[in-house]
Chain A
Amino acid sequence: AQRVTQPEKLLSVFKGAPVELKCNYSYSGSPELFWYVQYSRQRLQLLLRHISRESIKGFTADLNKGETSFHLKKPFAQEEDSAMYYCALAMNRDDKIIFGKGTRLHILP
């Protein structure tokens, strides 16, 4: 069955420390992976997608098909990174887009 797993509900990191939010997926087809972010009192918005291979707000994520992972990383956390982060999988076979349970990132001063 298709699935997106984010094992951490809450991740607390000190400002300036590295951040890694984990995401694993299960899909037999060709996956397209995304990270979405929801800041306080704002709409859910795209942070980055694996096919663009770019860095947004200092975040990067690499698709590892062997480990079926798409972990989100940032070398130095900033207080404004505090938000809810969702990993998403687009399944082009049937046009569904599903999400993981989300990880709340809390940056400590």
Chain B
Amino acid sequence: NAGVMQNPRHLVRRRGQEARLRCSPMKGHSHVYWYRQLPEEGLKFMVYLQKENIIDESGMPKERFSAEFPKEGPSILRIQQVVRGDSAAYFCASSPRGQPNEKLFFGSGTQLSVL
């Protein structure tokens, strides 16, 4: 009965490198959400994906950020050419059907540190 699994827990990158964050939703869940928490702030919505589809990416920065949720395998949040301002905790959440009022189950997050 594994929950939402995120890896790595901690990721250190130098400016200009790429960061890949992985999220495996709960078993039976086909809807994935990515949120970002900057220091001293709340969680900010980034993107909502269903298998092989991006449903809502209104919270994603226009450049350098991309997300996917392939038919097989985990959801990936990819940040190219990272900058110090990308340092944050990135949380993934999943839900079974993406229905309104379904509660989201969150992973433990990936703490990204950009040197």
Q: Tell me whether A and B are bound partners.
A: no
Residues of B within 8 A of A (CB): none
